[in-house]
Each structure stands twice: as C-alpha cells, then as structure tokens.
Structure 1
Amino acid sequence: MQNRHPVDEVLPLSQLLIYGLQHVLAMYSGAVAVPLIIAGVAGLSKAQTAFLINADLFTCGIATLIQTIGFWKLGIRIPVIQGVTFAAVSPMIMIAKAGGLTSIYGAVMVGGLLAFLIAPFFSKLLRFFPPVVTGSVITIIGISLLPVGVAWAAGGTGNPHYGALPYLAVAGIVLVSILLLTKYTKGFIANIAVLLGLIIGLIVAIPLGMVSFSGVATASWLGIDTPFHFGMPKFELGSIIAFVFVMLVTMVESTGDFLAIGEIVEKPIGEEDLARGLRADGLATFLGGMLNAFPYTAFAQNVGLVGLTGVRSRWVVATSGGILVVLGLFPKLATVIASLPPAVLGGAGIAMFSIVAANGIKTLSRVDFDHGHNIFIVAISIGIGLIPLVDANFFNLFPSWLQIILHSGITLGSLTAVVLNLFFNGGGSSHENKEQLAETTVFNIG
C-alpha cells in the first residue's frame, strides 16, 4: 500500500465528511444559480423552481461520483467536482423562451450523447481551441450573462417597481459583502464568500418585506427526482445545433480543469484519462436531460480549493458527490433557496458573471497580441458574439429554428473565433494547446 498515490488515499470518515462538505459549500451557490436563472426565464412556480434545484443538486452528485470513482471507461478518477457550466446558460435562456424546458432537455441529451461519442477524438480537436479562442468565448459568456444579474438587482423583470431604491440597496449590500469577505477572509470563508453574501442579503431583505417563505411549510421533507418531470423532451434542430457548440466549449473547459488538477495533485493526465473524463461529462449531461437538469463540467473554484488545502484524495470529492445527492432529496431546503428575492440574487449575479468575464480576459492575457492577427480574432468574435445582447431584434427576420442559434452570443462568438483562428493562425499544435490549457483554468464561479 506504500505505492498508493495520494489521489487514491482513503482518509478517515470524519475528514472525508469535513473536507467533502467544504467542497460542496465552495460550489453550492454556483450550482443553484443556473436553475434559478432558468426557472425565472421559464416562469416556473416556487415549487417547480425548488424541484429544478433539487434535480440539479442530485445530478451534480451523480456526475461527481462518476468522475471521481469511475467505472468501465468512465471517470477521470481525480478530485474533480461537477457542476452546471455557465457556457450553456445563454443558449438555454433562448431555448426556454422559444420552446420551454422540454426543448432544453432534448438538446441537452443530444449534446451529452455527442460529447460521450467524440471524447476519444477530442484531444485531436484541441488545436482548434487555443487560448485566443477560449478566452474570447469565456469573455462573451460573462458579458452575455450580466443583463440577468442587472435585472435581478433592479427587482426582477416584470416587477412594477423595477429599479426601486430598496432593491438596488439590497443588491449593493450583497455585492459589498462579497467583496469585503473576499478581501478580509482567507481559505474556507473566502471560498464561500458568494454563499455568505446571499445569506447576508436574505437577512437584510426579510424585514424589508421582499422575502416570502410561502410553500416552505408545505414542502415535503423528502422528494425523488423523477425522469422527464416537465414532459418528454423535444428534439429541435436549432436548439441541438446551439448545444453542439456549447458542448465543444464545455469539453474545452473540462480539459483545462482536468489538466490543472493533474498538475496540482502531481498525477499526469494522459489521453486515455482525458477521454474517460470527457465521456463521464457526456454521460452526466445526457442524464441531466433525463433528470430535469443541465450540462455538466468540472467546477474550477474547486480546483483552487484542492491546491489551497493540499488534500489530494479523490475520495474526499466522492464524499462531496454523496452529500450533493442527499441534498437533492430534500425539497424543503430547495424551497428556502427558491425564496431568495431577485435583488439578493442580483448582487451575487453581478459578481459571478463579471468574474466569468474577467477570467476570460485573464485567459486572453496569455495570448501574444504582437504576433499575427490575434487582436482581430478577439475583437471580431466578441463583437459578433455581443450582437444579440446589443440588439435582441437583429436576427428577427431569420427562420425561427435559426434564431435560436443566432440569438446565442456564445454560439455566434464560438463559431466566429474558431473560424477566424483557422483563417489567421491555422490549426496550431495540439500539444502546445494542452500545455496552455493546463496553465489556464476556466472559471465557473460558485
């Protein structure tokens, strides 16, 4: 047993639980943010929103268990926790507006199946996703999501008192709380600054009459995530094409995180390891479509937590997966989370989405802008990617199935960046891009 790698070490149960819970808290707010966003866009009731949160947490746990424990040719078997990718949020918003949740789930299932099938070949595609492409896409993701956070901060779209001072004040308190916690705390507390900011905002919002806990008392303590709860999935061409690009971006995110974790825990990630990890992402995403959830990728803030704590055991994160599964079985807790008023979410949303954009800029800082035409790749891909944000009616005369693709800034920006990079720079070196990805951790803020 002396030759056992620290990644495979099984710690005492008490340590597994404590360290595992820490990972859950570090990613929790990021995990529940996406179902809250999609529920708001889809017009779900509080009970339905709670169900969506439960389904997401439950599937996060399953995805994490598959990655960390692994079976057959699935799972990278390193301490990586899974969560919903923010790359999918903007396309899911457009799909939800056009066809509802069932259209999202059809596209998610197809996207997951695609990722599963192409995983062994994806390392050969990495040359098409150098930092100049991924940095541009991540920046577009963050900027495209900012309007959601701003609308929350003002009280929520459709609110007759939209922009009222109390809403803005609560959002400001949440944002300032996150900044203060980030500056004056370290380690574990700093890692859950967003979650603590949400709690502070909730406490402030209650006496202002912004919070309604209706439904909490009647919500059941235990609930099971039933497949296709919102109806059978719809498979629409426009939605599926949009998700093809989402999954390619997501696979690049996961690859960067896998390589980064491999460096931290001193366990080199080979091609077969990467294929197992990406297959697991694909399977988890496919299950997400069945279990009323979303596409899954590695959560990068937990990558930093592994480096911070020095705890390299994958069984710690497997314990996190078990905790997430258990949390996904308690609707009452999810109903409390669904009671968070938009203004509270707005303060956290502005922080989360801005940091996503900032990490895109951080990725771009590694790009050589003095050589070639990289400045044009970044400028034009971001410019075209932001067209739907600048003018929502720009593509209104196109066919409805095509609008789902064109109204997704992430899809437009991704396609533009890949094509322009090929045009100006050619394919590039797959090995070189792997090394750059290992240095660049794509950030899914939690």
Structure 2
Amino acid sequence: MIFITQSTGINGSNHNGTADVGPCEAGRCPDQEAEVRDRWRHGLSQVRGAVVISGAVRVLLGLCGVYGLLSRHCGPMVLAPLLLIIGLSFYKEATHFSSSHWGISAAFIVLVVLLSQHFGSCFVPIWRWRRSQGFSVCAYIPLFRIFSLLFPTLCLWLSSVILRELQIMEPYPAGKIPGILNSSSSNNSSAQRVPWLKIPYPGEWGPPAFTVQAVCIGITMATATSISSMGCYIMAAKVLGCPHPPRDAHNRGISLEGLGSCVAAFLGSAFGISSSVPNVGALMLTQVQARRSVHINGLLCLLLGMSPKLTSFLSMVPPAIHGGMLSVTYTTAVAVGVSYFQFTDIDSGRNIFIIGFAVFMALLVPRWFLQHPQHISTGVRSLDIFILSLLSMPVIQGGILAYLLDNTVSGTLAERGLVAGFPGLTSVEEGQPGPRDSTNVYRLPAAVRRLLECLSLRSFPLRNLCPDSDLPLVLPGSPEEKTDFLPCPREGEGGGTPAIDASKELGVLGC
C-alpha cells in the first residue's frame, strides 16, 4: 500500500526537505500592501519551482528504474539505520509543537497508549434490532483501538476550546487561534472573504520560477523524499506483515508522488506530495489494514482542498496535539528499524560499526552545519545552498552511509541478514513460500491490469513501471543474476539458511 499525503513540506510530515516561505519579518514589512503581495508571490513562485524540480526528478528516476535497482540492494543493515534515523531525527519538531502546552501533549499520549495498547484487545458488541428477533449482537469491533487516535484528538481539541473560552487555559501560542477564527479584527475581515468552495486552477498564482537556487533545492528535496518514501513503503509492509514491495512498486509509487508534486505546484501549492511516516504509525496503532481507508483519506483531502474555510477550520487544532501525534507515530520508524536487527548478526564487529557510525554521523553532521552554515562558502551562492541542504538532512546522510557501507564492507550473508526469513527476500519456487504471496498483496485493480495489457510493456520506460508478472522472468543461473549485490547463498554458507534473490520477487503495487 502507498500512503500519500499533501503535507506541510515537500517531504510530507517527514520534514526532510521543507522550505518555509515568509514575505517579510516582523516589523520589516513594506507599508504598501501591493509590495507585500509582490514579494510574497515572488517567494512562493521560487518554492513552487523547487517543488516542480523535485517532482520531475523523481518521475525521471522512477521511469529509469533507479528506485527498483536500489531497493534490491537494501538489506537489513541498510533498513535498520535508515528507519532509526527517520524516527529519531524528528524529535526537534515534536518537541517544538509539544512545548506549546506539555499538559495537552502528555494527555494525548496517555490516551493513545491506553486506547491502542491497554484496551486494544477489548471488543465492543454492535447491536442491531429486528422485529422477529429483537436486539441481537451482529459483530464485535475493537472500537478503542480503531479510534485510538481520533478519539483523543477530538476530545482534547474540544476541551481546549472550552477551557480557553472559560479563560482557564491557553492552548494556543501567544493566545491567538490560527486560521479564520482568530479574534483579531484583521483576521475577521479576512475570514469574511474566505469562500466555502474554491476550485484551484493552473496559473492562478503565476508560473513557478525555475531559478538556480530552486533547481538545487529541488534536487535535494527529491533525494530526501525518495529515501524517506522507500523507507515508508518497507515500514508499512513490515507493520502489515507483508513481503517488501517489488521493484516496480518502488518505481511506480515514487514516480506518482513526483507527478503529484508537479500538479500541486502548478495549481499554486507550495507543498509537495510524499509518503507519510505518521500515516504508517497510525496504521500500526489502529491496525486498520484496508485500502478503503486510504481511498477515503484521499477523497477527504480532495474535498478539503476545494473548501478553504473548512481547511482553515482544521488549523484550530492546538499545536500540542500535533506534538503528541508526532511523538506516538514516529516511534513506529524507530521500532521497525530495531526489529530488523533480528535478521543480522548483531554481535559482528562489522555490523556494530556500520550501525553506530551511520546513525551517529547522520545526527552529528546536520546539527553542526545547521548551527554553522557560514562554513560553506564556495563563492557561488547556489552551490553553497545545495551543499548545505545535502549536509543538513539526517535522512540523506544516514541513508547514503548505511547503503555504501553495507554494500562495500565485506561480510557474510548471515552477517548482512540476507537469509531465509527476511521479508525482502521471498521465494517463488515451489515448496518455499514467502511470508505472504506478494502477487496477491500488491495486485493492481482489474481495470488497471487490463489497461497495462493494452500497452507495450517491453518498451522503455514502461518496463520499469509494470509488474514483474507481466515481464519475462529471469531464469535461475542467467547472467543477470550475477550482478546482484544480494546473491543467493549456498546451503550452509555463512551459517544462514538459503535466501532467495530479490530480483525474482513477483508482485504489483496496490494503489
């Protein structure tokens, strides 16, 4: 499954490639409203240009099959540090939101833990009435677990509004409610002009500006979002107990995210489309394993995108609730990353060095460069921005370091975790079933499959986006298998049981 959201930054809630737009600082705004509007539009156009570049790069790499190739060489020693970094690198943002009111954030976390963990196994009977039978139980539903995130959000949101009106507690920073319900006169006048229905169209905010700085930032955004999205796909599969997505699923999923980012930017949005770690965390807490929930989520996002007033109403959610939400959902990335250690030889000195070095450097280097950006000075401002953006993102540092070290430092297959049981290596041979049949898990809808049958699947670049089941299979012993970084071990090699080449995995992505 793919979890896609229109997020608060180009990399979704992962915060690996955001770009803040502000027309001016407090006390420095021009007096003329027209000048303020022009400066705001100019800054917005540059950010939109970076979003378009990011989306175009992801589409191009997906069509070329780069993501599928990289996914074949991502073993447990790559996934474990990467997911750990994705989860740990977001503590600053969670702290920032929670610090607006630690009481609300703590109450949210306690309620989520109680509903999802302590009461998660409590099934509530659903009654129905029939004239012939009267009241009878028709089903038992784990109601507390399913609504373990929605109930605390609604209850604390309502409680915050009531306590604020009673002047008992101030849940909003600086005492101001964001959005259209702010009590200031300027916001009240603006609220009257906010329509209930407004359909965006291309060119409404002018064309995106493709400056050199926008290109550099866009490339960095594409790198960060690609690494994070691949981690989200694998994390979602782990939470659901499914085999890892096949190569074509990575190519197709990230390409569609890039296409969505381009469309959003041309429609006037300064935000892009990316996979969402909090969505995967919500999946783990609620245990709702249905594609219909993703369909409903997408439909609601479309409807909210056409109603500015309803969207602004959602901005009334206290920031402390957002902080609590991030605190409980990003733990999923940390937990899934730790779980991949079970497939490796954790006592190996090779593995200890790779894990420690990748995680430590991914947290150390970005922190230092964010505090001392003046040390990057090549004389070319665009190049300085590009280098600084690459060095200031933990997910890029950790992902690249873990990938290079695991695939270049010598080690046995058992040390690297490439043994039977690793969900990234599934078998299609008779008598060696994988955790679950990936062909059924990632099967495309029938209408999409019929459409693919009408296309030329063997031609480039459609070959990299189509399911492996629609392409010629690679027979065992073919020369193509020898180029894989993750070879199939022989019986007894490295102390592990034989694994299956990831290049043989069959399956398609369920969109």
Percent identity for Structure 1 against Structure 2: 18
Check the 8 A contact 1:245/1:411 in 2, yes or no: yes
Structure showing greater relative contact order (alpha-carbon pairs closer than 8 Å, 6 or more residues apart): 1
Report what 2:449 is aligned to: none
- Structure 1 residues 104, 372: CA separation in 2 closer, same or farther (over 3 Å shift)? farther
- Structure 1 residues 124, 346: CA separation in 2 closer, same or farther (over 3 Å shift)? closer
CA distance in 2, matches of 1:140, 1:225: 37
> Residue type of the partner of 1:204?
S
- Structure 1 residues 380, 436: CA separation in 2 closer, same or farther (over 3 Å shift)? farther
CA distance in 1, matches of 2:304, 2:319: 23
CA distance in 2, matches of 1:329, 1:129: 40
Aligned partner (choices 280, 285, 299) of residue 261 of structure 2: 285
CA distance in 1, matches of 2:241, 2:95: 37
Check the 8 A contact 2:50/2:218 in 1, yes or no: yes
- Structure 1 residues 247, 362: CA separation in 2 closer, same or farther (over 3 Å shift)? same
Question: 1:409 and 2:354 equivalent?
Answer: no
Report what 1:90 is aligned to: 16
CA distance in 1, matches of 2:321, 2:282: 24
- Structure 1 residues 346, 256: CA separation in 2 closer, same or farther (over 3 Å shift)? closer
Aligned partner (choices 393, 400, 405) of residue 420 of structure 1: 405
Aligned CA-pair RMSD: 4.3
Report what 2:443 is aligned to: none
- Structure 1 residues 86, 168: CA separation in 2 closer, same or farther (over 3 Å shift)? closer
Question: 1:249 and 2:227 equivalent?
Answer: yes
> Residue type of the partner of 1:178?
V
Report what 1:173 is aligned to: 107
- Structure 1 residues 278, 353: CA separation in 2 closer, same or farther (over 3 Å shift)? closer
Aligned partner (choices 51, 70, 74) of residue 108 of structure 1: 51
CA distance in 1, matches of 2:298, 2:240: 19
Gaps of 5+ in 2: 24-41, 121-141, 164-168, 182-190, 378-383, 427-433, 437-511
Q: Equivalent residue of 1:91, what SS? A: coil
- Cα displacement (A) at 1:339: 1.8
CA distance in 1, matches of 2:148, 2:12: 20
CA distance in 1, matches of 2:352, 2:22: 34
- Structure 1 residues 259, 137: CA separation in 2 closer, same or farther (over 3 Å shift)? closer
Report what 2:197 is aligned to: 222
CA distance in 2, matches of 1:340, 1:350: 16
Deviations 1:120-151 (A, max 9, x none): 52322223422322321222122221111112
Deviations 1:195-249 (A, max 9, x none): 3323233233221233527614634221323447776244535423422422431
Check the 8 A contact 1:241/1:405 in 2, yes or no: no
Report what 1:295 is aligned to: 273
- Cα displacement (A) at 1:326: 1.7
Q: Equivalent residue of 2:313, what SS? A: helix
> Residue type of the partner of 2:180?
G
Length-normalised TM-score, structure 1: 0.64
CA distance in 1, matches of 2:435, 2:151: 29
- Structure 1 residues 234, 367: CA separation in 2 closer, same or farther (over 3 Å shift)? farther
Q: Equivalent residue of 1:129, what SS? A: coil
Aligned partner (choices 49, 61, 70) of residue 118 of structure 1: 61
- Structure 1 residues 425, 306: CA separation in 2 closer, same or farther (over 3 Å shift)? farther
Q: Equivalent residue of 1:296, what SS? A: strand
- Which is helix-richer, 1 or 2? 1
Check the 8 A contact 1:95/1:103 in 2, yes or no: no
CA distance in 2, matches of 1:210, 1:303: 28
- Cα displacement (A) at 1:386: 0.7
- 1:314-325 aligned at under 5 Å gives the runs 317-325=294-302
Report what 1:152 is aligned to: 97
- Cα displacement (A) at 1:360: 2.7
CA distance in 2, matches of 1:328, 1:144: 29
- Cα displacement (A) at 1:425: 4.5
- 1:354-369 aligned at under 5 Å gives the runs 354-369=331-346
CA distance in 1, matches of 2:88, 2:203: 32
CA distance in 1, matches of 2:76, 2:150: 30
Report what 2:314 is aligned to: 337
CA distance in 1, matches of 2:249, 2:407: 28
- Structure 1 residues 373, 194: CA separation in 2 closer, same or farther (over 3 Å shift)? same
CA distance in 2, matches of 1:283, 1:427: 40
- Cα displacement (A) at 1:328: 2.3
> Residue type of the partner of 2:328?
A
CA distance in 2, matches of 1:148, 1:226: 32
CA distance in 2, matches of 1:106, 1:390: 28
Check the 8 A contact 1:92/1:104 in 2, yes or no: no
CA distance in 1, matches of 2:105, 2:367: 22
- Structure 1 residues 115, 354: CA separation in 2 closer, same or farther (over 3 Å shift)? same
Check the 8 A contact 1:245/1:414 in 2, yes or no: no
Check the 8 A contact 1:90/1:410 in 2, yes or no: yes
- Structure 1 residues 425, 321: CA separation in 2 closer, same or farther (over 3 Å shift)? farther
Check the 8 A contact 1:174/1:200 in 2, yes or no: no
Q: How many residues align?
A: 349
- Structure 1 residues 151, 280: CA separation in 2 closer, same or farther (over 3 Å shift)? closer
Check the 8 A contact 2:280/2:332 in 1, yes or no: no
> Residue type of the partner of 2:257?
D
> Residue type of the partner of 1:112?
G
- Structure 1 residues 198, 358: CA separation in 2 closer, same or farther (over 3 Å shift)? same
- Cα displacement (A) at 1:372: 6.2
Instruction: Find the structure with the greater CA-based Rg.
Output: 2
- Structure 1 residues 439, 105: CA separation in 2 closer, same or farther (over 3 Å shift)? farther
Check the 8 A contact 1:182/1:190 in 2, yes or no: yes
CA distance in 1, matches of 2:21, 2:337: 24
Q: Equivalent residue of 2:275, what SS? A: strand
Aligned partner (choices 155, 162, 165) of residue 200 of structure 1: 155
Check the 8 A contact 1:239/1:405 in 2, yes or no: no
